A and B are shown apart, each in its own frame.
Chain A
Amino acid sequence: MQRSGRVRRASSVGEDPLPAVRPPRAFEDFYRSEFASVVGLAFALSGSRSGAEDIAQEAFLAAYRIWPRVSVYERPEAWVRRVVANKSVSFFRRRGLEVRALAKMAIGRHPSLPDLPEEDAEFWATVRSLPKRQAQVIALHYLEDVPVSQIGQILGLAEGTVKAHLHAARKNLVARLGAEEEEP
């Protein structure tokens, strides 16, 4: 959707998920209720335990800056998740996260998130090897447990497109992990 002749990308000032239909919400409440799950999404898509918190902080900072506008969305959490989803899959950001993680460990700061069991870590690594949209759809579908229609709103995609990405992602994961496919 265009405004003032410019197309704005979700990773910066995002598109409106839905028109404003509710009274504004206090940012602090929003932060406290959403931070942990947003960190989880960032971790799944970036693969960086320490970087996941940084990505989440930056996404909430972006929301904080334009909170009067974001706060009246029907689902401000969807806006934040779009920001996280885009920041997490950026190649350059991933390299930057790795460098910063090493620097933090060098000064004794360790990530808050614990290591994943090996099989689960392998699964998410395989997800991150998928094309970006497929990885985002998989993470939102299984981690956030949201329906296809909401995934479309978060990522700014049509419902049919989300289904196509989900189908393709599952096929790729079956092939790469050697798992049995199950009809959705």
Chain B
Amino acid sequence: MRLEERARHAAGAIRHGVELMPVRAAAAAPGTYEGFLRFVERRRRNQRIATIVTALLLALLAVGGAIRMLHHASEERPADERITPQRVSDLRPSWSAPSGASTDQYSPTAGEDAVFVSTNRGQLLAYPHACEGSCEPMWRFENGRALAHPAVSDGIVYVAEASGASGARLLAFETDCAAVGPSCRPAWTGRIGHGVRWDQPPLVAGDLIVVPAVDGLYAFPIGCGRVNETCRPARMIHTPGPVLALASDQASFYVATDREVLAYAASCASDCEPTWRWPIGRPQIIASLGVAGDTLLFGTGYPSPTLGDNHLWALPTVCADHEGCAPLWSLDTEGNTFVTTVGDRAYVVDQGANTDRTILAYDLPCSVTTQGGCDPVWEAPRPAGWEVYDPAVVVDGVVYVGSTDGYVSAYPSDCDPVCRPLWETSAAGYGPVQVAVGGGKVYAGGEGIYAFGLPQGRAESASGGTSPGGSPLIFPVALAIVIGAVLVRRFLRSRNA
């Protein structure tokens, strides 16, 4: 058959079939005009329903995303960066920057996006948490004057010049300093007399940044200044001796000198009298102070454990007697003790201990024993390494202790009565190690900076599942809002059509 003939035959078959489409007497049947109108109405109704449902779903997505973003911004660390007791044993070396000089001391503190490291050579270095394999600082500051341990809060890194020549300063840097180049200048500075002890970081207390200097406390308002300003302290409290340790709660600042422990009202303007004081007799070293459960905890001691007479003391934070304050309890220790408090839990590290009772955890207030002491919740034997020179660091339920010879040990905060470490490493160089934790990494500062991280691609949320980060939700939330608005507009137009 010819093509033309076949084509016309086939076309005729369709035309014939169309004519044979059943003629339905019923109104509103498909193929009739009434049926078409019903089809139109049905389509409109379905579109309205789909628009409403989609708009509701998008609204839920937008609201849920906004709540999630606020939650993440306000308090929660991104779920996949948490090093929990279940994951800490997976830590492995990530990168390192050894200084090459055994006399160097690097002191890290972790911020939201980076770790900030001060050195006794007068450097402040910022390394991003995202580094793997190797790392260069995002920005650096150098002034040749030894810097003490830094502190970071609300986008500002605070570091004080260590005691020495007059004219020491508190330096405040914006954490995103790299935005203006690799070399950073302080946002503002403040005079702090003769400086601080090298192991004393500034303390953030409410809306103040408090510096424990050798001649007293200097308190600067947070956000003191911007762009190369020189700030004046809001308050200055002269203390009877150099400040060896500092702690605070909502009501008071607690200061340790080499002869006494003093409490000052947090509302103290300047040069106010202490609310109470507790003499310790002969000049001694108080390495750190901690406040937990209305208890002020600290240790007194001497540089060498062989001199003996080292104690751990627990005083009430509120004392009725202005000239004396009876201890709640006390313990003999082998050496100086370092105190770290988290909530009502205190972790005490005995520097001189050579027994199973080197790291002790107490819940405060404590039930005093018949011997006038306090039984710990758990205790751990001496960690690997020779001695501990810094307080423990507690993050996400893990207690980190750094000791000499580059050792870092990690214990669960909720542990058995005799606690064993979940993780230990000796890969943190040499010298006494100070630990900082943040951005999914554990940093050990000694004669360099050493970072340890979890293997890539393994994430954990608080509920045990995977969880995406919060900030990328900004764009889908915004898109959801825009699409929802368009759909609502279409819905309103279809109703009016």
List chain A positions with a Cβ less than 8 A from chain B. Answer: 28, 31-32, 35-37, 39-40, 43-44, 53, 57, 60-61, 64-65, 112-114, 116-117, 119-120, 123-124, 138, 142-143, 145, 170, 173-174, 177, 179-182, 184
Q: Which residues of A contact B40 (CB under 8 A)?
A: 61, 64
Q: Which of B34-62 contact A (CB under 8 A)?
A: 36, 39-40, 43
Q: Tell me if A31 and B7 are in contact (CB < 8 A).
A: no
- Whether A117 and B13, one on each chain, are in contact in the complex, defined by CB atoms closer than 8 angstroms, is yes
Given contacts A36-B18, A57-B39, contact A120 B9 (CB under 8 A): yes
Q: Complex formed: what's the CA distance from A57 to B2 in Å? A: 35
> Distance in Å from the Cβ of A53 to the closest Cβ of chain B?
6
For the complex formed, measure the closest distance between the CB of A112 and the CB atoms of chain B, giving whole angstroms.
4
Interface residue stretch chosen among B19-27, B272-280, B315-323, B457-465 = B19-27
Contacts known (A31-B33, A57-B36); A182 close to B3, Cβ less than 8 A:
yes
Q: Are A114 and B20 in contact (CB under 8 A)?
A: yes
A114 to B10 alpha-carbon distance, docked (Å): 14
Contact status of A53 and B18, CB under 8 A, knowing A123-B7, A124-B10, A179-B3 = no
Would A116 and B13 count as touching, CB distance under 8 A? yes
Q: For the complex, what is the distance from the CA of A170 to the CA of B6, rounded to whole Å? A: 12
- B21 and A142 within 8 A (CB): no
Some 11 contacts from A to B, beta carbons below 8 A apart, are: A32-B33, A37-B18, A57-B39, A112-B21, A112-B31, A116-B10, A116-B14, A120-B13, A123-B7, A179-B1, A180-B2
Given A32-B33, A180-B3, A61–B15 Cβ distance below 8 Å? no
By a CB distance below 8 angstroms, the chain B residues around A36 are: 18-19, 21, 31
**Are the CB atoms of A120 and B10 closer together than 8 Å?**
yes
Contact of A116 among B17, B22, B36, B39 (CB under 8 A): B17
Separation in Å of the A138 CB from the closest CB of chain B? 7
CB distance from A110 to the nearest CB of B (A): 10
Determine whether B282 belongs to the interface, using a CB cutoff of 8 Å to chain A: no
- Which A residues lie within 8 Å of B10 (CB)? 116, 119-120, 123-124, 142
Chain A residue at minimum C-beta to C-beta distance from B3 = A179
Interchain nearest-CB distance for A105 vs B (Å): 15
| CB closest chain-A residue, reference B12 | A120
A117 to B9 Cα, complex, angstroms = 10
Asked if residues A174 and B22 are in contact (CB atoms below 8 Å), the reply is no
Name which residue of chain B comes closest to A122, CB basis: B10
Q: Does B8 contact A (CB under 8 A)?
A: yes
Give Cα A142 to B15, complex, Å: 11
B2 touches A181 (CB 8 A): yes
Contact B3 A142 (CB under 8 A): no
Contact A28 B17 (CB under 8 A): no
Nearest opposing residue in chain A for B497, CB measure: A65
Q: In whole angstroms, what is the CA distance A116 to B17 when docked? A: 8
Instruction: Evaluate contact between A143 and B17: CB separation under 8 angstroms.
Output: no
A123 touches B6 (CB 8 A): yes
Task: Identify which of B2, B9, B21 gathers the most chain A CB atoms within 10 Å of its CB.
Answer: B21
Question: Cβ of B18 and Cβ of A113 under 8 Å apart?
Answer: yes
**Residue B73 at the chain A interface, CB threshold 8 Å:** no
Known: A180-B2, A181-B3. A114 touches B8 (CB 8 A): no
Nearest-Cβ distance from residue B387 to partner chain A, whole angstroms? 72
In whole angstroms, what is the CA distance A177 to B4 when docked?
Answer: 12
A138 x B7 contact (CB < 8 A): yes
Measured in the bound complex, the distance between the Cα atoms of B17 and A65 in whole Å is: 29
Knowing A40-B17, A113-B17 touch, does A143 contact B11 (C-beta < 8 A)?
Answer: yes
Is A61 in contact with B39, judged by CB distance below 8 angstroms?
yes
Among B258-292, those with CB < 8 Å from A are: none
B240 within 8 A of A: no
Distance (Å) between the CB of B48 and the closest chain A CB?
15
How far, in whole Å, are A157 and B36 apart by their CA atoms in the complex?
Answer: 30
B30 contacts partner chain A, Cβ-Cβ < 8 Å: yes
Question: Are B18 and A182 closer than 8 Å at their CB atoms?
Answer: no
Q: How far is the CB of B81 from the nearest CB of chain A, in Å?
A: 42
Cβ–Cβ < 8 Å partners of A60 in chain B:
36
Which of A116, A142, A181 has most chain B Cβ within 10 Å?
A142
Do B18 and A179 touch (CB < 8 A)? no
Q: Given A61-B40, A180-B2, A113 and B21 touching (CB < 8 A)?
A: yes
Given pairs A36-B21, A113-B18, 10 additional interface contacts (CB within 8 A): A39-B21, A53-B30, A53-B31, A57-B36, A119-B10, A123-B6, A138-B7, A142-B8, A174-B3, A179-B6
Asked whether B36 lies within 8 Å of A31 as measured between CB atoms, the reply is yes
Set of chain A residues within 8 Å of B17, measured between Cβ atoms: 40, 43, 113-114, 116
Q: How far is the CB of A175 from chain B (nearest CB, A)?
A: 10
Chain A residues near B5: list those with CB within 8 A: 182
Q: Nearest Cβ in chain B — how far from A147, in angstroms?
A: 15
- Find A39's partner among B7, B9, B13, B18 (CB 8 Å cutoff): B18
A181 CA to B43 CA, complexed, in Å: 46
Contacts of B33 in A (CB 8 A): 28, 31-32
Chain A neighbourhood of B4, CB < 8 A:
182, 184
Pairs of residues from A and B, 3 with the lowest C-beta to C-beta distance, nearest first: A123-B10, A120-B13, A120-B10
Name the distance in Å between B427's Cβ and chain A's nearest Cβ.
Answer: 57
* Distance, CA A177 to CA B5, complexed state (A): 13
Max chain A Cβ within 10 angstroms of own Cβ: one of B2, B9, B17, B20: B17
Cα A145 to Cα B10 with chains together (Å)? 13
Evaluate contact between A173 and B15: CB separation under 8 angstroms. no
A62 to chain B, nearest CB (A): 11
**Looking across the interface, which residue of chain A has its beta carbon closest to that of B29?**
A112
| Minimal beta-carbon separation of B338 from chain A (angstroms) | 69
Interface positions, chain B 227-262, Cβ under 8 Å from A, are none
Q: How far is the CA of A36 from the CA of B22 in the complex (A)?
A: 11
Considering the chains assembled together, what is the distance between the CA atoms of A177 and B10 in angstroms? Answer: 13
Q: Which residues of chain A are near B30, meaning CB under 8 Å?
A: 53, 57, 112
Q: Are B2 and A179 in contact (CB under 8 A)?
A: yes
The CA-CA distance from A173 to B4 in the complex, in Å, is 10
